[in-house]
Amino acid sequence: MSEKLLTDLSINEEAEIVEIRGGRGMQARLRALGLSEGQHVKKLSHVGLGGPVVILVNRAQVAIGRGMARRIIVRSNDG
């Protein structure tokens, strides 16, 4: 298991959120989208050049900005 940024996941790679770094406002926004510590997510796609990252969480697709995604630390099984 290795920890990395959400943005560093490969397409279709699954991981568990272990930490969300950021202020209260950003954390509240992410929790409203269903993203919290312990939640399992799957990266579906990303748009290059600083575009959003699309993830699957609770059977819903969620697009978040790359800046927010860089503040989410995940644990994946890839080693």
**Cα 1 to Cα 24: distance, rounded to the nearest angstrom:** 28
Q: Are residues 53 and 64 in contact, defined by beta-carbon separation less than 8 angstroms?
A: yes
What pLDDT sits at residue 47?
A: 82
Domains in the chain with CATH codes: 2-76 (2.30.30.90)
What pLDDT sits at residue 71?
A: 95
Averaged pLDDT in 10-residue chunks for the chain of 79 residues: 92 96 93 94 87 94 94 87
Q: Are residues 17 and 38 in contact, defined by beta-carbon separation less than 8 angstroms?
A: yes
